[in-house]
Structure 1
Amino acid sequence: MPTHDGLVDWDSPASWDAATAVETIARLAEQGKADVPVYSIGADRRVATRPFEVTGSPLFVAEGIFAAEIVEECRRRGLLAGAYALRRPRGTTFLRRLTRDLAEQRKAPKVLIRRGVALLRAEPAVLRRQTGLGAEAARAREILRRVAGMVAGHPHRSS
């Protein structure tokens, strides 16, 4: 696992298994179900898998900081309806991340604040990277409108 300041760097794409993510998305798209990993940020590792189903859904959303890393491959395999990088005020992202991480006790508060400030500063570069990998920058309301339009225009899967 990649490290930063002596800690596992969960914000690095190298901490993620992109090939397995694409295969899981393919299984979900084709079969409607797959086992997905469960990570423990506090323990710095994957701790289990759990079944996940989207059977009957016309679309599903795969989200996360590394989603843009697999846009090209998902597009190539015909698995992609849309790819978006959420654009919101950096302060909002910082506060939401910090609130979540403190509530989940992911790390010591001092570590979470220090890392949160670093991510706050890096956010414009992260957005540029995600759009460079094929995601379109958009605000949450616009993304929700587009996804709703895709769902409305899709026949309902019954498998």
Structure 2
Amino acid sequence: MQDKPGRDTSGWQAARLGLADILRGLADWQLRTIITTAMAPTIYAVCVGGVLAINLYLALQAFQQSQASGLVWLLLIMPITSITGIVIVRVVLESLLSLFRIVVYMESLMEQLHTLRGQTESIADRVEDLPLPRIQFWRNRKRGSEGKTTEGDGHGGSKG
């Protein structure tokens, strides 16, 4: 199947790649890959559909009891419960996604820290071999006459 000239297929390609990632993640039996963030829009759509289906079922049940209770449910209660249910689904899903994002960011940070640690150890090993003079960037400040140091409370005396 050939695309028409000027037709943007990047959206379809991205969707196909996203689906491939999700299927690969579903095949990960050790759960090392987090695919929940990629599946979030689908999960949200299914949950919203579920909330609306439950409300529609309850409206039909109310109509079976009487037309008045069916109309009350359909026009008054159903909109409120539908919006409330969708808001609850959204809040729960966003909270879970925030937790997953924190985990992903922490894993990324740990990888960066390990890389940085390796680089700093390598630099430290090279510097130790160089015959460089050691420079002390701070001085011990002692008061000669009183015998007190400036350590402790920051004013030259000791705490207490």
Judge same fold: TM > 0.5, yes or no.
no
Name which structure has the greater RCO, CA cutoff 8 Å, separation 6+: 1
Please indicate the TM-score interval, normalised by the length of the shorter structure.
Answer: under 0.3
Larger Rg, first or second structure (1 or 2): 2
Provide the TM-score with structure 2 as the length reference: 0.24
